[in-house]
Homo-oligomer: A and B are copies of this chain.
């Protein structure tokens, strides 16, 4: 019995990463604690207890999208990768370390949504994950682990797109230093930046489909 070992080992890297992503994204919910109410609590008390959790729900929603976006980035990166080495594996481990850290920064930020320190920490962990994802991809390209038939302009487009998320993170930190509650607006620039980048690349690559699909165009 023989296995195509080299290719099976690449699959393992991917499935291990998928499992870490899946756990990090699902752990977001266990940071939202069930509210404690007294025996005599009215429907109104219950409704208020749920309203008070709104920052936590928003944090869950937003971080789920962020981790989801990083997973999609990882999916795109490995969509171009056909070979591997342990340098790639270690960079992958560091990237996953930043991803698995996000349930903590999300919970801290959701608990104190108007405070400077949790917001900066959240945006920093966010930015850090993005930077490590870019380093992972750059390494794969530099060491020629990507498909030799891959269109260089598509790889370049992908690299640019990937920079948008951590760049938004840095913008959020900078805005947050002055007006914490406005930090979130930095993320609204993401689709605009994606559009600008896509327009720079003539032949629109498959990687750009998602935004248009989600916004109902195409």
Contacts and interface: CB of A to CB of B under 8 A. Distances in A.
B117 A93 contact: no
Contacts of A9: 75, 78-79
A interface bracket (residues with beta carbon within 8 Å of B): 35 or more
Copies in the complex: 4
B87 A213 contact: yes
Contacts of A107: 34
Contacts of A21: 16, 19
Contacts of A103: 29-30
Contacts of A10: 3
Interface string A58-77: 00110011001001100100
A46 B117 contact: yes
Interface stretch (A164-172, A184-192, A202-210): A202-210
Contacts of A6: 1
Query: What 8 A-B pairs come out closest when comparing CB atoms?
Result: A87-B213, A86-B210, A19-B22, A46-B117, A23-B26, A68-B93, A16-B18, A26-B100
21 contacts: A3-B7, A3-B10, A16-B21, A16-B22, A19-B21, A19-B23, A22-B22, A24-B26, A27-B30, A34-B111, A46-B115, A46-B117, A46-B118, A64-B100, A65-B93, A72-B90, A75-B89, A85-B206, A87-B210, A87-B214, A89-B210
